[in-house]
Structures are given as structure tokens and as C-alpha cells.
A and B are shown apart, each in its own frame.
Chain A
């Protein structure tokens, strides 16, 4: 089995409370743990899909891996090198090999630069090349992402969503990336264009041997593109395993609700009032400050209620850990389904 290209070990990151800049004397600053003790690894030529609701810390993990957000605790190992505390100068050659496809297309591409200059900048930043070599490389990149040559002299504002996404991918490839963090690459796109981008990413993976961390909340796309899937809830990974086995039989109650919401949507009759009602009456998703100790999903969990609110779910000492339940499938739950 090949070595992992990326190893994320016990990563923690919390942010200060946005509403409170003044801390009373003797008080404490309230913090929100965006990512809390997350570990996973990605092998070369493999895709890990990261799913979860808004605000569960998906993007923070992606940014932390690329050192765009400093970590509080934990270690990130890229190709057997610990990059957590690496000084920027040393990190530079590694940065070339790990890149990000940003979520917001309009913010990621400079609106005042033509596509030609955007790509040229990416090509030149790590290599010293002659003009003809740059021209050659640009042409290669365009071919790789199926972009017309005529688009080179356009500004990002003149391109459609799918084309902008292609430019973003081309720019990441320009520096010779092997590992890409794709943060919601399909969220702003129409279904037809989304299919084009997904196909492109998969072709590039098989051609160039790329590895992806694919962050998305679209469960079907994640299942299609990923080899492994990790489900996050409020900063913790609650379930991880092969894409097919999670989608077919999710074991954590939260993953079950996620995937069944997909089924509900697809069939007209199968609208399950059960999950809707249950979740309604239990706490709200955003109540981070008042969330339970122990298992974080407990306040919304139907199983927790059915079992008569057992103590091990709510007590902080016995919070469920991610444990293997066979076949590389890991679940953080005392009562997996």
C-alpha cells in the first residue's frame, strides 16, 4: 500500500467569538472550536471527500492544510515532511506541490488581469522560464482544462462560471501541483456545467496522478468523485470510510439524516416527517455556545432520544471516539445504526 501523501494528525483550531472584543476582568474570551481533533490521511492519486453542513469546519481544515490558517494544535505531514511549523522560505518548494481551488471564483481571480496574465503569473512564480516556454506551458494548460485559446485575452468578468472554474484549476496546475484542496468547486455552478467540471477533475486525476481533498456539501458529487468520505459535524469527524459503504449504509445517525434528506428529495412520496419533526423540536444547529458536552450531535440525535438520553452520550469523559467498526469504516458513536 503506498505511503500517504498527506497526513493530518489531531488538528485543532478555534476562533475567538466574533461578537465580543472586550473581555471583562476575570472573565474569559469565548472561543468557537471550528476544528476539534481531526485526523485523516490521503494517499497519492486518491480523493477524500469532506462533507458536512455550513459552519462545521470543512473549509478551515482545507485552509489549515495549506498553511493559510495557523493551527492551534496538531501536525500536518506532507510527503513525510512536517510542515506545521516550517518557516515560509523552506515551505515555498512544497507550496508548489499543494494548491487550492477556491470556492469563490470572483474573489479568487483578479478582475483587472487578463486570463493570460493570471496564468503567466502562476507559471512564473516558481520557475524561471523564457517567453516561448511560458507560451508553450500556457497552451498545455489550456488543453488540459479544455479552455479555448481565444479566452486568454478576456478578463475574468467576461467568462462564465464554468470557464472561471477551469481557469482556477489551470492556475493550480500551472505550478505543478500534486495535491489539490478543492473547496466547493461545484457549488456555484449549474448542473450541466457541474458535470463538466467533475469530469474534468477526474480526468486530470487519472492523467496527472493528482490527489484531492474534495470539500463539498453535495453528497452525490462527493460520492461520485471520492474514494473515501469523511462526514463532519461541528468540528469533528463523525464518520469516515469508503465512499460506497457510507452512502449505502451510513452508520452514524447524523450521516443517516444527511443521506436520507437526499432520498427524501428524490422521491415524491418518501418525504419523511420523522427526521424533520424530530430535529425541529430539538436544539438548533448554530447553538455552538450552548452545545452539549460529550457527543455533539446528541441534542439533535433521534437515537439518543430513543435510548432514553443515556449518560455516556452527554458526559464529557465518555465522548464517543472515532473507532473502527470493520472494513476501514470508522464511526464516532456509542450506538451506531
Chain B
């Protein structure tokens, strides 16, 4: 690879203990991927597939202990890679069976403090996040201008308040908020949803981060405003060359903004590859889940014919009792026709099917990547 790696995630697990069920909710179950410099990785999947928890783990914001986090999140700084989860294994004892965590003997409580200390210098300045709901992510008692100024003073070399203020106005202009001088003094609830989302983007970008994590930046906005936010993010991407982890359940948004896509299901990545290969309905090597997901979005021809949508039968995976074999096989359409014994018994590995394209399915012949 010619590009430099920015973030590498290896075998990330994040479990939450559900006391009422006396069991672990496997929100993120063995996720691995990497993001290169200047690249946008789109993460697509249904609700409850572990997209947000993956993002929050990177930010060190996972709450709700006693839970488990294990694996490695390597953030590549100029001084070399930094494992954000370094040392966690000493604090968590897990009982594994065939590589899968079965029981937790000791949870990660004392380690949490250490993580927070480590995150202090990175979060905000090098890792920034755009949250799904901008109104609840911003301080309702402070104006958006003050909040952005604070971000700049804290995370960049600028130390004079006046300079930071000018910079804030420039950023507000950059994200196309009209009359930034007036909006500077608005509280978050004084702005419309789309504008608040823009202010949130400005705040994330103001710290000039290395990696931007956008968690459902367009969900809950109207169609016209949504398309404007997408256009804005596209412009920012091409202008600043920012490395982004984009999370969305809207396939169109992912298709438009990302270079690579990771399809999540039930806490793991089922398919990972370039956006044109994965999200093009006509392209050939594809996980059955990705194909089914694409088919359930109505396309032009289907609407014209008033045809029946191809829904995926069944419900989103129960992440407490994940099946022993492939996660998707209970819902897999190919289950009825083409199925191998391994689908039921053993979880398939994420194996490469083409250059830079990997699929977690037993029905594909892996190529020899040699």
C-alpha cells in the first residue's frame, strides 16, 4: 500500500452485560479493518449491528460497564502506532472457546481510568466525532460560537481568544452557515436541525483532526437538508483530504461519500471492499446479506412496475444468542437453495475474493493472495 495507515482495528470485541437476561450482548464481535490516509471508510448495517459501538470504542466513549472490550485499536500517529487498548488484557480475563469469548472472569473496571488518561491528548484534537443528534451532543447552555472557539483554543496552536473567534467565524462560513456573525451567538436549540448539524461538523473540523468519525450525520434530517449535508461533506472531503470513518444505515449516503465500505451485521464485518464493487447491485462477488440489503431498497424500475419489494425475511440478529455458524444463515436466502454444512456449524472467516475485497461467507471460493 502506498498510503499510510491511520487507524487499524484488530479483533475488536465490545460486550455489554444485560443483567435481566444474565448474558452478554455481543455488540461488537470480532471486528477488524483499517483506514488509510485520505480515505473514507463507510460502515453500513442495520440498527444493532454494532456500527456505533465500534465508533465509540475508538473514541474511548463506550459506557455501560460491566462490559468487555478486547482487541487492539491502533491509531497511527507520526511518532508511531499507539494502541488505544494497550494493557487491557491484564485487566480482563476471558475464557475462550474456539476463539470466541464464552465467559468473562474479570471485567475491565480499573483499566477504564487509564484509557481516559490516554485518550485525553488524542480525543478532540486528533480524533473528532460528529454525533448523530447534534442537539444532545452540544451544550445547550452555551452558544455554538463559544463552543467552537473553546475547541480551537484547546486543541490547536491558536491561543488568543480573538484569533480563535475569527477562526470560528471562518469555519462557520466554511460549512455554509449564513450570517455566521449572528449564528455565533445562537444556542444549539436556536438553530434548525440542518444548521445544528453543520455547526457540529464545524466544531469537529475546527480541531483539525487526523481522523473524523461521522456517526449517522444525516439521519433524522429532511430530504433536501440531507442532500445538502451530504454535498457539504463531499466538498470538505475533497478540499481537506480528511480521513473519515462514516457510519450510516443509508446506503445512498455511503455510496456517495465513501471509498471503501464495511458491511456490518450482528456485530461483525461481513464484507469489506471498494465501494463500487460492494454497493453496485450488478457487481458479482457479494455476500448474500449485502445483496439482500441492496434488493430491499426500491429502485426505479421496481417503483414503475409497482413490484413487490424483496424484503429480507426474519428480524435483525439477536446479539445475545448468536448462532454457532454464520451469523446470517438463519435469514440467508441461499439457505433454502445452496447451503453447506459449514454454514450451520462454523463461522466463516473474512476471506479475500478479489483485490482488496473480502467476504465472510462459506459460499465463496477465496483467491490465493500470494
Contact = CB atoms under 8 A, between A and B. Distances in A.
A265 B252 contact: yes
A261 B223 contact: yes
Contact of A257 (B224, B292, B296, B316): B224
B316 A190 contact: yes
Given A190-B249, A191-B296, A224-B309, A162 B315 contact: yes
Nearest to A146: B313
B251 A284 contact: no
Nearest to A244: B304
A221 interface: yes
A288 to B, nearest CB: 12
A191 B297 contact: yes
Interface stretch (A23-31, A102-110, A196-204): A196-204
Contact of B312 (A53, A192, A258, A273): A192
Interface residues of A, number: 43
A224 B312 CA distance: 18
B223 A262 contact: yes
A262 B193 CA distance: 19
A54 B227 contact: no
Interface string B312-334: 11011000000000000000000
A189 to B, nearest CB: 9
B231 interface: yes
Nearest to A191: B296
Interface in A118-154: none
Contact of B252 (A192, A193, A247, A266): A266
B256 A265 contact: yes
B311 A199 contact: yes
B217 to A, nearest CB: 13
A72 interface: no
Max chain B CB contacts within 10 Å: which of A191, A221, A257, A265? A191
Contact of A193 (B231, B251, B292, B316): B316
A308 to B, nearest CB: 22
A286 B192 CA distance: 7
A203 to B, nearest CB: 9
Given A195-B312, A265-B226, A276-B228, A224 B306 contact: yes
A198 B224 contact: no
A280 B172 CA distance: 13
B208 to A, nearest CB: 25
Contacts of B178: 280-281, 284
Given A224-B298, A224-B302, A265-B230, A193 B315 contact: yes
A264 B256 CA distance: 9
Contacts of A194: 296
B311 A258 contact: no
Interface string B60-103: 00000000000000000000000000000000000000000000
Interface string A220-254: 11011000000000000000000010010000000
A163 B192 CA distance: 32
A41 interface: no
A251 B176 CA distance: 28
A198 B307 CA distance: 11
A54 B222 CA distance: 7
Contact of B231 (A163, A190, A273): A273
A285 interface: yes
A176 interface: no
B46 A279 contact: no
Given A220-B303, A224-B298, A266-B252, A160 B316 contact: yes
Interface string A254-297: 00011001101111100101011001110011100000000000
Contacts of B174: none
A319 interface: no
B234 interface: yes
Interface in B11-54: 46-47
Interface in A38-70: 53-54
A219 interface: yes
A192 B192 contact: no
A74 interface: no
Contacts of B304: 244
Nearest to A203: B308
Nearest to A159: B315
B227 A261 contact: yes
Contacts of B228: 276, 279-280
B310 interface: yes
B253 interface: yes
Contact of B192 (A198, A221, A244, A284): A284
A286 B46 CA distance: 31
Contacts of A285: 192, 225
A195 B297 CA distance: 7
A195 B310 contact: yes
Contacts of B296: 191-192, 194-195
A278 B303 CA distance: 30
B46 A196 contact: no
Max chain B CB contacts within 10 Å: which of A162, A163, A220? A220
Interface string B222-254: 111111101100100000000000000101110
B339 to A, nearest CB: 20
B135 interface: no
A163 B222 contact: no
Contacts of B298: 195, 220-221, 223-224
In order of increasing CB-CB distance, the 6 nearest A-B pairs are A195-B311, A261-B227, A195-B309, A195-B296, A192-B312, A190-B46
21 contacts: A53-B222, A53-B224, A190-B249, A190-B316, A191-B249, A191-B251, A191-B293, A193-B311, A199-B309, A202-B308, A257-B224, A258-B223, A258-B224, A265-B256, A279-B228, A280-B228, A281-B178, A284-B192, A284-B195, A285-B225, A286-B192
Given A53-B225, A265-B252, A284-B195, 9 more contacts: A191-B251, A191-B296, A191-B297, A192-B293, A192-B312, A220-B298, A224-B302, A266-B252, A284-B178
